[in-house]
Amino acid sequence: MLSDTNSVLDAEQALLGCALADPQRFPDVRHLQPEFFQEPVRGQVWKTIKEIDSEGLTPDSIMVADRLASCAGFQELGGAVYLAELIDKCGNVCLAKQHAQLVQEAHARRAVDGVLRKALGALQERRQAVSPLIRALREQLGGLERLASPTGVRPNAAIRADELQVKEFPPQRWLVPDLIPFGLTLLAGPPKVGKSWMALGLVNAVSTGADVLGRAAGAEGDVLYCALEDNQTRLRERMTAMCGPATWPSRLTFWTDMQKLDEGGLEALEGWVAEQQSPTLIVIDILGRVRRPARPAESVYAYDYESLTPLKRLADQTGVAIVVVHHTRKQEAGDALQEVSGSNGLTGAADSTLILSRRPEGAALYGRGRDLPEFDLALELDESSCRWRSLGDRADVHRSAARRRIVEAVEHLGEAGPAKIAAYAGRKEGTVRAMLGKMTTSGELQKRGRGKYRLGPAICPVNIANDDNMGDHPEAAPAASA
């Protein structure tokens, strides 16, 4: 930090010298605690200076030496002569605050190192719970971050525009390519729509490297599935239905119960991450089981946002993908994200949001996020494997389904108008009229007189033989009598 400070020990000595050489500087650094000093004897000298100051006296080298006369370590350093040397070598007393900050930063780093060593030892010996150590580490890191950003802005949070323009970033990491990026994802859907089957398929795929909705998993590793609405019996039944008699993945762990995030649940998740060789994915099913109760007079938005904030922070700090399962509203909304139960605080806190739904034309999965381009897929649940599979873009798939129904209707009716076709196909007449025009252009249908339609050359080539002679076509008679 300072050009005239070559080490932490030098900073400690310079700080003591500044405090004794110019006591008026002491109020600026009196917050520093004796245990912050790496050398215990220097910490004792600092403690003595603080005691003299707290008595309303002005600390000087004579008073400090008198009070430390019985301190063997102090006498070994030279006693009063040592204090005089500190004063002579302290340099610019205006740098007292900078010396103090360096001493405090060094103490914080030593504390972090100590917690890491304890955590490593606990993992190796399995004699001590890891969660309390992780909590202590988070506190120490938080203190270190505050020291490094006295202005309230973290150093890596500020960047000039011209630097941003040329900065190189790592490529986007995908848990499932183009579907689930790393970060915090919210998976919402109505009850019994198949959210848990989708979650179970996802954890199985990531723990084994298998496909998800027809896409190869972008990452493979250790997975934790918090199936908090299931028990082990039900989980085994579902795993049997999905995986059969084959050996089940050893990298997949199930939890059927856990504490709320603010009551130890977050530390438990952190502990699991710390214990794994390659932690990759955590799925929490379902949000309501892990978030704290709302406080009196707390706004719904603030409650929802803060419910996901600890998980978002965990995902960012550890690089683990986290998927949280939640419910949707009963009523539909113009924007798919508005269907998530609760407020915009949930979708605002999550990096990505997926909506699993069942519509009249079939199941669908809608997705959107900060790093996730919008998509809308048609899905189908394979009853034999209990796995969801993608049928493609929902608009294309369902449009094709509607066309098939219209072709089936015309094939059955022989020749009919929009009203009869719509009734047989189970579609709205206005929608059918619009599609009849497009299908006529594509050759799937032919338009006859009196606003009626029959199969076109793209479907039934025999219809091109004689458009005017209905007797040439076996379907003409029933169509005419209809």
DSSP secondary structure letters along 176-224: ETTTEESSEEEEEE-TTSSHHHHHHHHHHHHHHT-EETTEE-S---EEE
Residues 54 and 183 in one domain: no
Tell me whether strands 215-216 and 321-327 are parallel, antiparallel or unpaired: unpaired
State the pLDDT confidence band at 132, using cuts at 50, 70 and 90.
low
Q: What is the pLDDT of residue 21?
A: 87
If you count them, how many residues does the chain have? 482
481 or 88: whose pLDDT is higher? 88
Q: What is the mean pLDDT of the segment spanning 176-182?
A: 95
155 or 310: whose pLDDT is higher? 310
Q: What is the pLDDT of residue 244?
A: 92
Q: What is the pLDDT of residue 157?
A: 67
Residues 375 and 401 in one domain: no
Report the range of poorest mean pLDDT among 187-196, 205-214, 332-341, 402-411: 332-341
Q: Which 3 state secondary structure label does DSSP give 353? A: strand
Q: DSSP label at 152?
A: S
Residue 172 CB contacts under 8 Å (≥ 6 apart), including other chains: 181, 371
Cα-to-chain-centroid distance, residue 415: 56
Q: Is residue 358 part of a domain?
A: yes
Residues 367 and 403 in one domain: no
Dump pLDDT digits (tens) for 81-105: 989 888 888 877 778 778 888 888 8
419 or 156: whose pLDDT is higher? 419
Which domain covers residue 181, as residue numbers? Answer: 174-385
Q: What is the mean pLDDT of the segment spanning 206-218?
A: 91
Q: What is the mean pLDDT of the segment spanning 397-408?
A: 82
Q: Is residue 332 part of a domain?
A: yes
Residues 236 and 155 in one domain: no
Residues 99 and 186 in one domain: no
Q: What is the mean pLDDT of the segment spanning 278-288?
A: 96
Last residue of a domain, one of 146, 169, 192: 169
How many domains would you assign to the chain?
A: 3
Tally of CB atoms within 10 A around 101: 19
Residues 87 and 235 in one domain: no
State the pLDDT confidence band at 370, using cuts at 50, 70 and 90.
very high
Rounded Cα distance, 142 and 218, in Å: 32
Residue 282: enclosing H or E segment and its boundaries?
A: strand 279-285
Q: What is the pLDDT of residue 273?
A: 93
Q: What is the pLDDT of residue 242?
A: 95
CATH of the domain at 178: 3.40.50.300
Report the range of poorest mean pLDDT among 7-16, 127-136, 217-226, 398-407: 127-136
Residues 115 and 238 in one domain: no
Rounded Cα distance, 133 and 129, in Å: 8
Q: Is residue 68 part of a domain?
A: yes
Q: What is the CA radius of gyration of the chain?
A: 35
| pLDDT surpassing 70 at residue 367 | yes
What are the C-alpha distances in Å from 296 to residues 186, 293, 299, 300, 382? 26, 9, 9, 11, 45
Rounded Cα distance, 75 and 65, in Å: 9
Residues 125 and 213 in one domain: no
Mean pLDDT of the chain: 84
Dump pLDDT digits (tens) for 441-459: 877 888 887 789 988 876 6
Last residue of a domain, one of 385, 419, 445: 385
Q: What is the mean pLDDT of the segment spanning 373-378?
A: 94
Tally of CB atoms within 10 A around 301: 14
Residues 2 and 106 in one domain: yes
Q: Which residue has the tokens 């594509």?
A: 442
Residue 265: enclosing H or E segment and its boundaries?
A: helix 265-275
Report the phi/psi class of residue 183: left, alpha or beta, with left for phi > 0 and alpha for psi in -120 to 50.
left
Dump pLDDT digits (tens) for 326-335: 999 877 777 7
CB of 293 closer than 8 Å to CB of 262? no
State the pLDDT confidence band at 476, using cuts at 50, 70 and 90.
very low
Q: What is the pLDDT of residue 458?
A: 64
Report the range of poorest mean pLDDT among 72-81, 230-239, 254-263, 276-285: 72-81
Q: Is residue 392 part of a domain?
A: no
Last residue of a domain, one of 385, 407, 441: 385
Q: Tokens for 61?
A: 């080298």
CATH of the domain at 128: 1.10.860.10
CB of 408 closer than 8 Å to CB of 401? no
Q: Is residue 390 part of a domain?
A: no
Closest CA to 380 of 368, 392, 372: 392
Q: Is residue 391 part of a domain?
A: no
Winning range, highest mean pLDDT, from 36-40, 286-290, 394-398:
286-290
Dump pLDDT digits (tens) for 291-321: 999 999 999 999 999 999 999 999 998 999 9
Q: Is residue 360 part of a domain?
A: yes
Residues 304 and 212 in one domain: yes
Q: Give me the percent of the chain exceeding a pLDDT of 90.
A: 45
Residues 285 and 377 in one domain: yes
Q: What is the mean pLDDT of the segment spanning 52-59?
A: 87
Q: What is the pLDDT of residue 419?
A: 92
Report the range of poorest mean pLDDT among 217-226, 379-388, 473-482: 473-482
CATH of the domain at 406: 1.10.10.10
What are the C-alpha distances in Å from 196 to residues 239, 307, 377? 12, 21, 18
| pLDDT surpassing 70 at residue 183 | yes
Q: Is residue 344 part of a domain?
A: yes
- Give the long-range contacts of residues 43-52, CB within 8 A, separation 24 or more: 44/68, 44/71, 44/73, 44/74, 45/16, 45/74, 45/83, 46/15, 46/16, 46/19, 49/16, 49/19, 49/20
Closest CA to 431 of 458, 391, 399: 399
235 or 118: whose pLDDT is higher? 235
Report the range of poorest mean pLDDT among 121-130, 236-245, 364-373, 450-459: 121-130
Residues 34 and 151 in one domain: yes
What are the C-alpha distances in Å from 447 to residues 112, 418, 454? 79, 11, 7
